[in-house]
Structure 1
């Protein structure tokens, strides 16, 4: 288990209570998403007409193919120019467009409470990104599902585009974790079972779990079910890079381990190990066709989300 570093005088956790509108939520930042669209890269399954390619054939907006005319077909879709050339009736088929099922899975384990050099805890950062994703999807009439996980998926709401869904998401995101530890392999397996309809699955986590092979298998299950998967890998700047010097007390927030040390004595080895760990995660995601976006919590979350969505649309 990779420890979440804390300076000697840092606060260990956030306050127990959460207001109805969480203090980590910056509504003015969400306004930056007003001109951005979230489009699925592959086909998705939905129930409303929307922005995304559907696996089903219908009469919608984009031409797909021709087929022979059959009794009952709408004459408005007959290709009369083709009939003039071949003297046979063919009907135009179009790819339907549909709404998106967006599944958000947010890590709520104890390690996500780390806050040293970041502007907020990793959980607050993940919750901000999740709220922004939900707002963006709901604006497009897409359906949003949300789950919290630690050593399993603890709380889950099926995708919905009903009024009040965003407020439901904020309420769930304010829920405190029930377990100290992270079990990503188990959580991803449960997420794959819960995400029943093909769509986009977004994982927001610090990925603090030694079982990289288990993470790879969990991502494989999600991809096998036809989902596009995006992983936001969230770290506090301190635990990603360490301080160059100074004496610090380092705590494992998911266990009893504690170490007081000089940064100069451990920083070089630590950076080698964390780079190796990130490379392993990159390889696991790349092998499954999964986007891994590494962010530190000193970066403005909505700006980071806008940057990613712009890049994926180009």
Structure 2
């Protein structure tokens, strides 16, 4: 994967390439949105941000005919008058597992320019592109009542296009069973790597925790992109509201001012519970709303990984 250095002032004004969601939303093609995010992300980096194929020192061995003189340890030679060369182990490329929530609640769009699902798909596609540029293997799974579609890890040419095709054709499903999906994902993700989850986490918290425990038990690094519409997180609407359960179909009329204090308190408590759960399980949780430039989200995540 790649690493990045934080610029002096990493905000969208200092990085005009970080397209806001409302501009990305005008691009009907997922491929164009993802490329827009990647290009904006790359503009925010200093030169030479890529780690690439680095190597780590492993051991010394006696010099032999044909060995590269650049690997001779001349300090050892100065002390012992014997030639030794440094041996290195190449860093192995990783497996990146992308898990995208495809349930109906992800189709919410009130104040955000994109639905949560479109935002998640854009982020996942951009991250897949960056991983493919590093020749890392990318896997993709769609989650609703379990893993419905899955691509095994691959770094072969054309994998990004396969991811785009799967993300573009995913249909909203009425059932959310994130815990079940994460448990199935832990069985599918047989080789250790990074598991990136994109979801609004609208499900039983205990079930989600069980799924995360299994992924961590498998030795995966887990990062959880917790996606919410700004209205869901902050109840920005005013006056009378018609609230619709996207997964159950029930509707409720209410008054925003009358419920705001209790609503925000409950949402804050829910987010705090999820944050504590993730800290306890060693999971990196990134809470975000869909009005934030996706390139900034991607940049912040990769900076956090590299520090």
TM-score by length of 1: 0.78
> What is the DSSP-based 3-state SS (H/G/I as helix, E as strand, rest coil) of the residue aligned with 1:174?
helix
Equivalent position SS for 1:230: strand
Which of 218, 225, 229 is equivalent to 2:218? Answer: 225
8 A contact 2:231–2:237 mirrored in 1: no
Residue 213 of structure 2 aligns to a residue whose secondary structure is helix
1:110 aligns with 2:104: yes
* Matched position secondary structure for 1:120: coil
- Does residue 297 of structure 2 align to residue 304 of structure 1? yes
Question: What is the deviation of 1:86?
Answer: 7.4
1:18-43 deviations in whole A, cap 9, x for unaligned?
A: x994387253332123366687xxxx
Specify the SS of the correspondent of 1:222.
Answer: helix
Which structure carries more helix by proportion?
2
Q: 1:47 maps to what in 2? A: none
Deviations 1:185-224 (A, max 9, x none): 1010011111111111100000001x21221121111111
CA-to-partner distance for each residue in 1:53-108, whole Å, 9 max, x for gaps? xxxxxxxx221345x87xx9x97788686588679998755333121211100000
Residue 191 of structure 2 corresponds to 197
The answer to whether the 8 Å contact 2:222/2:284 transfers is yes
SS in 1 for 2:111: coil
**In the aligned structure 1, how far is the partner of 2:50 from the partner of 2:183?**
25
1:281 counterpart (271, 274, 281): 274
Judged with a 3 Å threshold, the aligned counterparts in structure 2 of structure 1 residues 90 and 38 are, in CA distance, closer, same or farther, namely closer
**In structure 2, what is the Cα distance between the partners aligned to 1:38 and 1:78?**
27
What is the Cα deviation at residue 226 of structure 1? 1.2
Whether the 8 Å contact between 1:24 and 1:124 is mirrored in structure 2 is no
Map of 1:92-241 to 2, 5 A cutoff?
92-177=86-171, 179-209=173-203, 211-241=204-234
Query: How many corresponding residue pairs?
Result: 275
Which deviations, in whole Å up to 9, do the C-alpha atoms of 1:229-283 show, x marking residues without a partner?
1000000001111135310101111113221000111111111111111011101
Partner of 1:7: none
In the alignment, does 2:236 pair up with 1:256? no
Q: Label 1:280 to 1:38 Cα distance change in 2 as closer, same or farther (>3 A).
A: farther
CA distance in 2, matches of 1:299, 1:286: 24
Q: Which runs of 4+ in 1 moved over 4 A?
A: 35-39, 74-93
Q: Is 2:25 the counterpart of 1:32?
A: no
The gaps in structure 1 that reach 5 residues or longer are 1-18, 40-49, 53-60
- The 1-side partners of 2:116 and 2:50 are apart by 23
Of 123-132 and 212-221, the range deviating more from structure 2: 212-221
**Equivalents in 2 of 1:203, 1:63: separation in Å?**
33
SS of residue matched to 2:201: coil
Give the Cα separation in 2 of the matches to 1:280 and 1:78.
Answer: 54
Q: Which SS does the other structure have where 1:25 is aligned?
A: helix
Counterpart-to-counterpart distance in 2, 1:177 and 1:284: 30
